[in-house]
Structure 1
């Protein structure tokens, strides 16, 4: 098995610092490691240049920065011409990476959502009416602007058309050319915990830990994998992450689902632990026990929010 990671921009023969520890862990586990040029992957017709340093063949996982679905497809095609096959196909990547691809399979686990194709006001107003009155959170198919919560994420009342559109305009301006797909409106829910990030290989939860935004704030240990596992397994995706938070009424809710190749690893989850989850794909599935946090912290450091 091959691990593909971005090369350092200034030292192209070395792995990007953000992924260097995972590359080292992969080599120690017996995997081959190859470097790709992420910047080239994001340019038109840049995929062939991006993979020029890949000189091995076989099945591969990518661990790197987020890619648009169309750039990932070009990446996969360039690798196939070198006899390298990404474990996650372009179609699987899009389904995991973009909310419309995964929403229907897990709708009962996650806030009610509606989305546009494109970013014009008429389409926005249609989905605003579709969702109905009340507060909502705005994002696009792949990302929110939660760090601009009041300006470009939270809509206090969808029936207030002009105020809602002002948030949408601010979001569109902040996302710029990175805006993907269209607007997504998600019913606002009150959450009472930090998020927990779960990692899934072929429908099996292999790793549970904190969210990268709150690595020291570990949630409680009562996430019921039996309840959430089947809808996620039904997606039939090879490597994904699913982020959960505890709603104010005590119910765990799915906040986000994403392709595991471009999901960030919390700093207190050992790179060796993540690489082990990928190796399980080739040695048979392993499943994390409900409430087990696979981190490099001692058990006494686990705490409820």
Structure 2
């Protein structure tokens, strides 16, 4: 069955795609995939999720047609509502809500990549305004790192573009710095904060340059999109292109890739300064951005080719 790719509609005109995804929409359609538009506002504002999908036509088939969402990150609860609403339109998202959370939240996927990813600890934060409590818990949680450098993020995202103030902690034993960085992260994330705090050992990566605005180190990183256990698109992260040396090593991670409980996801790699490639994190492929300067036509052409070659059952369980 042909895959339907669902994009966010423009808030100003629900018959048109959001400007941020206009190129992807056109290229998905040109590649031979079905496309559709979703009104995300009802979904995100707590209205009936049926309003989000009411403009979609129903596939004329006995079984729900396969669908893939491409758009802004959704909280797991919002994703679940979208998933269930689409079933009423006879469409089933490629990843179930459980599979979405598996790759969206680092603590959920950590057991799959432990040993090839930086050592990590985490704890939930139920009240992001309880800054002092979060800071105290953080001081205790990071004791295991000694005086090593670490980074802090929430369950989904870091503030990497505020590298020195809300992400990087040069010495995990510096309690004042830990508290200060946690406080700033919570402040900047605000209502977008996701679930809890994650602390990760800082790995010195093979450097490319420094970000001109934030001072964040830009490293030799790779993003791999995976469909049904097979890499479908591989590119350097900060600009589109291949890394021949990495391509030769990708096969070493095949067992890990095939163990991930998701049909469509991303796995990000980085080259350490000391030599080995490591896994940075996983992500749901539906909400993961394309690497900078990636031609959408190339991405959707490869996605369509891989989809046509798969014989996996179409279900989101």
The interval holding the TM-score normalised by the smaller chain is: 0.7 to 0.9
Q: Deviations over 1:91-143 (max 9, x none)?
A: 10011111011111111221111101115234323321244431100001100
Provide runs of 4+ in structure 1 moved above 6 Å. Answer: none
| TM-score w.r.t. length of structure 1 | 0.87
Match of 1:298? none
Between structures 1 and 2, the one with greater strand share: 2
Match of 2:294? 269
- Unpaired runs of 5+ in structure 1? 287-305
Distance 1:217 1:270, change over 3 A: closer
**Take 2:307 and 2:101, find their aligned partners in 1: how far apart are those partners?**
23
Q: How many residues align?
A: 284
Distance 1:194 1:96, change over 3 A: same
Distance 1:123 1:87, change over 3 A: same
**Take 1:217 and 1:83, find their aligned partners in 2: how far apart are those partners?**
37
| TM-score w.r.t. length of structure 2 | 0.84
Match of 1:113? 120
Match of 1:174? 188
Q: CA RMSD in A?
A: 2.0
Distance 1:183 1:266, change over 3 A: same
* CA displacement at 1:236 relative to structure 2: 3.0
Match of 1:141? 155
- Unpaired runs of 5+ in structure 2? 60-64, 129-133, 207-218, 312-317
**Take 2:204 and 2:85, find their aligned partners in 1: how far apart are those partners?**
44
Match of 1:204? 230
Match of 1:54? 56
Q: Deviations over 1:36-70 (max 9, x none)?
A: 12233222234222112112231100011111111
Distance 1:146 1:220, change over 3 A: farther
Distance 1:76 1:258, change over 3 A: same
